[in-house]
Homo-oligomer: A and B are copies of this chain.
Amino acid sequence: MKVAIMGFGVVGGGVGELLISNAENIAKKAGEKIEVKYILDLRDFPDSPYKCFTKNFEDILNDPEVEAVVEAMGGTVPAYDFTKRLLLAGKHVVSSNKELVAKHGTELLKIAKEKNINYLFEASVGGGIPIIRPLISSLTGNDISGIIGILNGTTNYILTQMIKNGKSFDEALSEAQEKGYAEKDPTADVEGIDTCRKIAILASLAHGKYVDSMNIPTEGITNITTNDAKYAQAMGYSVKLVGICETAEDGVYARVCPAFINLECPLASISDVFNGVLVQSDALGDVMFYGRGAGKLPTASAMVSDLVDVAKHINTNIRILWNESEDGYLKDSGEQKFSYYLRLSGTPDGISGKIKTIDGLSDEFAIIVDPVTEIELDEMLKSEPFAGHTVLGKLRVI
Interface residues of A, Cβ cutoff 8 Å to B: 14, 18, 22, 25-26, 28-31, 122, 128-130, 133-134, 136-143, 208, 266, 269-270, 281-292, 297-298, 300-305, 307-309, 312, 316, 318-319
Contact = CB atoms under 8 A, between A and B. Distances in A.
A261 to B, nearest CB: 13
Nearest to A303: B141
A31 B305 CA distance: 24
Nearest to A29: B140
Contact of A284 (B128, B136, B208, B283): B128
Contacts of A292: 284-287
Contacts of A31: 319
30 contacts: A18-B141, A18-B283, A22-B142, A25-B140, A29-B136, A30-B140, A128-B287, A129-B287, A130-B134, A130-B137, A130-B139, A130-B287, A133-B133, A137-B305, A138-B302, A141-B307, A266-B269, A266-B290, A281-B301, A283-B298, A283-B300, A283-B301, A284-B292, A284-B297, A286-B291, A287-B292, A288-B288, A288-B289, A288-B290, A288-B291
Nearest to A138: B130
Contacts of A28: 208
Contact of A139 (B142, B289, B305): B305
A30 B141 CA distance: 10
Contacts of A133: 133-134, 137-138
A382 B276 CA distance: 46
B26 A300 contact: no
A319 B29 contact: yes
A284 B26 CA distance: 15
Contacts of A312: 318-319
A150 to B, nearest CB: 13
A305 B141 contact: yes
A334 to B, nearest CB: 28
Contacts of A29: 136, 140, 319
